[in-house]
A = this chain, B = another copy of it.
Amino acid sequence: MIRAKVYVYLKKDILDPQGKAVKHIIGNMGFHRIQDVRVGKYTVLTFDDSVSEEEARQQTNEICRKLLANPVIEEYHFELETLPLGAPAGDG
């Protein structure tokens, strides 16, 4: 069973208002030595046991390009991990 951990985030030149808001709140909490905050999405796809690593890589790439990431403003990367057969699907 293969799990893909997908990270989607704004390109570095794109303004991130959510990150700026979090940075402001963190400053109000007393943390003044954080110079930048960026907020993105973390998505975990769990494939069933019939999917090979190469298929999982291709499908994850396609799902990222077509659904999870907006290629105009966002970038993504992902990692694949192989789980033992019968591992629970919903684990972090």
- In the complex, chain B residues whose CB is within 8 Å of the CB of A63: 26, 29, 31
- The reply to whether B7 and A42 contact each other, CB–CB distance below 8 Å, is yes
- The reply to whether B40 and A46 contact each other, CB–CB distance below 8 Å, is no
With A7-B42, A34-B45 as given contacts, are A29 and B66 in contact (CB-CB < 8 Å)?
yes
So how many copies of this chain end up in the complex?
A: 2
What total of chain A residues lie within 8 Å of the partner, measured CB to CB?
Answer: 43
- The reply to whether A37 and B44 contact each other, CB–CB distance below 8 Å, is yes
Interface residues of A (CB under 8 A from B): 7-9, 12-13, 16, 19, 22, 25-26, 29, 31, 33-48, 50-51, 59, 62-63, 66-68, 75, 77, 88-92
A38 to B9, CA, bound (A): 17
- The contact sample of 17 A-B pairs, CB cut-off 8 A, is A7-B42, A22-B67, A26-B63, A31-B62, A33-B50, A33-B59, A34-B47, A34-B59, A35-B46, A36-B45, A37-B45, A38-B92, A39-B42, A39-B43, A40-B43, A41-B42, A77-B92
